């Protein structure tokens, strides 16, 4: 009668179950993990880092677009200048082939004194290897012979090497008249100055503002006589505070 039942106080009883549950809780508590406070701190740090990285990425993207804009402007302006040099060479070549130019031809000749000086020295320029043979693309409103539009730079114009014509073998004692005549019969080739019209990275379109050589520097409209310069249509400001339209 005085014997205790198995499980009341001995091993394997209710006391053992209590101690086993306590041990499990201690083991689980000792396992690695994040508390609520640690999670809040981690999320806060990530948010701060994200807010700092986004502006840096935006500045980096904008700077890259500005570099692309400068490159596009440089490419088009180089093409315009090269076209102009070879157009002046063509005008000078055409004038040299005429013994007595008519009044209309004299009106077609460059009237700007600076342009006349450029025409006089154009053949000494090592960058000029050909001249534009088709002078009909220049209207009376464009005597200074800048390209009439960007499409002309992309489609190309007829050119001949500068050794052809009266400034080449003709009149040179080292060549016969037959050799000079054969050189004059050189077939014109089409020269392309732009592979394609660049896209303005600021607007995402291949559209640009133009200025002719007769427009003032602060002009807001294009006269249409020729394409002397190109500018971006964007009204935004660069990282240095300048307007993109002033580049």
How far from the centroid of its chain's Cα atoms is residue 95's Cα? 37
90-112: per-residue pLDDT in tens?
998 888 776 444 444 444 445 55
Does residue 236 belong to any structural domain of this protein?
Answer: no
Q: Structural domain tally of the chain? A: 1
Does residue 213 belong to any structural domain of this protein?
Answer: no
Does residue 94 belong to any structural domain of this protein?
Answer: yes
Mean pLDDT for the stretch of residues 212-223: 90
Does residue 182 belong to any structural domain of this protein?
Answer: yes
Does residue 224 belong to any structural domain of this protein?
Answer: no
Does residue 165 belong to any structural domain of this protein?
Answer: yes
116-172: per-residue pLDDT in tens?
555 557 788 889 999 999 989 999 999 999 999 999 999 999 999 987 644 444 444
Does residue 46 belong to any structural domain of this protein?
Answer: no
Does residue 88 belong to any structural domain of this protein?
Answer: yes
Of residues 193 and 166, more confidence is placed in 193
**How far apart are alpha carbons 247 and 232 in whole angstroms?**
8
- The range of the structural domain enclosing residue 185 comes to 60-195
12-50: per-residue pLDDT in tens?
455 555 556 555 555 555 556 668 787 788 788 887 877
Of residues 115 and 57, more confidence is placed in 57
Residue spans of alpha helices (H) in the chain: 14-30, 36-96, 103-108, 113-120, 150-155, 177-184
Does the predicted TM-score (pTM) go above 0.85?
no
């Amino acid at each position: 009668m005085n014997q205790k039942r198995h499980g009341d106080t001995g091993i394997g009883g209710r006391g053992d179950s209590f101690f086993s549950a306590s041990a499990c809780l201690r083991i689980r508590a000792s396992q690695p993990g994040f508390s609520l406070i640690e999670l809040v701190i981690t999320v806060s740090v990530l948010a701060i880092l994200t807010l700092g990285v986004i502006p840096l990425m935006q500045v980096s993207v904008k700077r890259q677009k500005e570099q692309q804009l400068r490159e596009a402007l440089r490419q088009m302006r180089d093409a315009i200048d090269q076209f102009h040099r070879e157009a002046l060479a063509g005008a000078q070549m055409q004038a040299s082939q005429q013994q007595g130019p008519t009044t209309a031809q004299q009106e077609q000749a460059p009237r700007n004194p600076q342009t006349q000086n450029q025409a006089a020295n154009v053949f000494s320029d090592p960058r000029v290897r050909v001249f534009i043979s088709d002078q009909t693309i220049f209207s009376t409103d464009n005597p200074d012979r800048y390209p009439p539009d960007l499409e002309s730079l992309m489609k190309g114009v007829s050119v001949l090497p500068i050794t052809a014509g009266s400034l080449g073998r003709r009149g040179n004692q080292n060549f016969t008249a037959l050799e000079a005549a054969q050189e004059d019969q050189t077939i014109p080739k089409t020269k392309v100055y732009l592979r394609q019209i660049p896209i303005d990275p600021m607007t995402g379109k291949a559209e640009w503002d133009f200025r002719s050589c007769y427009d003032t520097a602060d002009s807001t409209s294009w006269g249409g006589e020729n394409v002397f310069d190109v500018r971006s249509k964007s009204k935004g400001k660069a990282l240095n505070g300048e307007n993109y339209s002033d580049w």
